[in-house]
Amino acid sequence: MTGESAPEPSRNQSAEPTVVAEPPWTYPAAGVAFTVLGAGLGWGVRLLADWLVGLPWAPMRGPAELVDSLPEPWVTIGLVVLGALAGITLAVHAYHDSLTVTVAADRVALNRRGTSREWPAERVDVACRDGKQFVLLDDDAVELAREKYDFRTEDLAAAFRAHGYRWADEDPYREEFRRWVPDTPGLPEGADALLKARAKALRHNHDSGDEARELRDELARLGVVVRDTDRKQYWRLSRNR
């Protein structure tokens, strides 16, 4: 294994689990901000339509004339309400997509989009950061989890170290990843087809899509670890291959 990780401290079995997540005030504040911004954009659409109609020539003149022809004050109220609803929708999506990490001496659990995954402590060899992603690895270099996160890395590292897990500031196996292209040699049987399907999924949903996540899990069962950079896939083999 390349790279260095922190020495493993002793585990305090009596310590309470540590929950790492965005502060509780973050999402209400984001909801207010997105709602105000959305309402402001709705108001701005009305003003923009008035301005465009007054020009001798302007792009999107037809839609601008349509907005300008609608009766007031209902058109302005409607646009402001639609903008506010869009802002609320964005805030709800951000909350639903947020990651919560629970670290205890006997287990590690992740929760995102209402789905919880949990591993006993003996399966977790090291936790680390890889760019803007959080990674859990077992002692065969298999990725148990790879998730984007928005909270402070320092809080995540402190939680793992406090409960006796090893923490690395970067993926210890990062240098083993190779760029995938179709028909790459050295892959287990069936892995290339899964990577092709996953490349297609990434083009549509980026790496947060459920299909891309499921295909990552299928590749892990074949002993293939995959990471994404700018929608390009990089792969390595786990030790049990």
Mean pLDDT over the full length of the chain: 81
Q: Is the pLDDT of residue 60 over 70?
A: no
Q: Is the pLDDT of residue 67 over 70?
A: no
Mean pLDDT of the 203-223 span: 82
Residue type, 106: D
What's the angle, vertex CA 36, arms to CA 35 and CA 40, rounded to 5?
115
Confidence of residue 88 (pLDDT cuts 50, 70, 90): confident
Q: Is the pLDDT of residue 95 over 80?
A: no
pLDDT digits (tens, 9 = 90+) for 8-45: 555 556 579 999 987 765 656 666 676 666 667 666 77
Are 124 and 109 a contacting pair, CB within 8 Å? no
Q: Is the pLDDT of residue 141 over 80?
A: yes
Q: What's the start-to-end Cα distance of the chain, in Å?
A: 15
Q: Is the pLDDT of residue 94 over 80?
A: no
Handedness of CA 211, 214, 218, 224 (dihedral sign): positive
pLDDT digits (tens, 9 = 90+) for 166-212: 999 999 999 999 999 999 999 999 999 999 999 999 887 655 568 88
Mean pLDDT of the 155-168 span: 95
CA distance 40 to 80: 7
Q: Is the pLDDT of residue 116 over 70?
A: yes
The label of the residue with tokens 């947060």 reads 208
What are the backbone dihedrals phi and psi of residue 79, each rounded to the nearest 5 degrees, phi first? -65, -40
